[in-house]
Amino acid sequence: MNRTVFFVSESTGITAETLGHSLLSQFDTIDFEQVYMPYINTDLRAKALTQRMQEAADRDGVRPVVFATMLNNEIREILQSGNCYYVELFEGFVEPLSVELGVPPSRKPGRSHAITKPSYYTKRIEAINFAMANDDGIRPDNFHRADVVLIGVSRSGKTPTCLYLAMHYGLRSANYPVTEEDFERGDVPQLVWDCRHKLFALTIDPQRLQLIREERRPGSGYASLERCQEDIRMATQIYKRLQIPVLNTTSQSIEEISSHIIKALRGSGER
């Protein structure tokens, strides 16, 4: 079953995305096509979005779900008038909290970031830029600047985990893909060894890996079960040689994997 989901906000949309993902994680039998729509802060943009909602409904045969953090009443009404199931993530909490605190809400967009220290928000943005610039082993010479480095075979979940660590924890995260060249050597480059104290390996069941790779390259040798099994087997040997923590992404969410990494980093003076 397929369903389109829109994450909508007047600002960056990070809050809508985070809360929406947490709710959707309880419905793992549905394939969600996720659409991010930040900065919907004018009537014109809101009306254009309702047209996209209708297109999604026509395509899927069912109305899309909209997770929103929309404090502007006029824009919210435009979105609610569209063909969608609308979930306002703030409203159920803002008014009761206002009663308890005895003051009205400001209803200003983008305030969810302002309550934290500006320096921490800046740190997160810098960490996101670092993760994007050091994705997929592009700059192993930068690994010494990273807080954490993930390694794993292709499509094991390295990139989304790095971005999550950057976005939610402000960690400078890089990743290195274990490739056929490494398998032939039975080892990873020296630059990876040099940062072994901050390395974490991601593994995944071969059957699950095959499904993921098949979506990317249908019918290819890269996506065959035999190739997936062999990649995981040889990568596991390298992880043992490195003596680093190994986390299985098969049935764990990015949030769970990240929490294990954070716990390990906090539990070690070096990490």
Instruction: Point out which residues pair with 152 in neighbouring strands.
Output: 177
Q: Is the pLDDT of residue 150 over 80?
A: yes
Structure-model confidence comparison of residues 243 and 253, the more confident one:
243
Q: Is the pLDDT of residue 108 over 70?
A: no
Mean pLDDT, residues 23-31: 87
Q: Is the pLDDT of residue 270 over 80?
A: no
Q: 97: how many CB neighbours lie within 10 A of its CB?
A: 12
* Tens digit of each residue's pLDDT (9 = 90 or more) over 41-69: 999 999 999 999 999 999 999 999 999 98
User: For position 22, what pLDDT does the model report?
Assistant: 83
Q: Is the pLDDT of residue 111 over 60?
A: no
Instruction: Point out which residues pair with 2 in neighbouring strands.
Output: 31
Tokens of 244: 């680093």
Mean pLDDT, residues 250-265: 90
Helices H, strands E: what count in the chain? 12, 8
Separation of alpha carbons 81 and 90, rounded Å? 18
Q: Predicted confidence band at 228 (pLDDT cuts at 50, 70, 90)? A: very high
User: For position 244, what pLDDT does the model report?
Assistant: 97
DSSP structure class, residue 12 = -
User: For position 203, what pLDDT does the model report?
Assistant: 97
pTM over 0.75: no
How far from 127 is each of 106, 171, 191, 197, 218, CA to CA, in Å?
30, 6, 21, 19, 34
Report percent pLDDT > 70 for the chain.
Answer: 93
Contact status, residue 89 vs residue 16, Cβ threshold 8 Å: yes
**Listed range (81-95, 117-131, 160-174) with the worst mean pLDDT:** 117-131
Mean pLDDT, residues 82-101: 86
Structure-model confidence comparison of residues 123 and 225, the more confident one:
225
Q: Got the DSSP string for 127-196?
A: HHHHHHHTGGGS-GGGGGG-SEEEEESTTSSHHHHHHHHHHHH---EEEEE--HHHHHHTS--HHHHTTG
Mean pLDDT, residues 159-169: 90
User: For position 95, what pLDDT does the model report?
Assistant: 77
User: For position 109, what pLDDT does the model report?
Assistant: 54
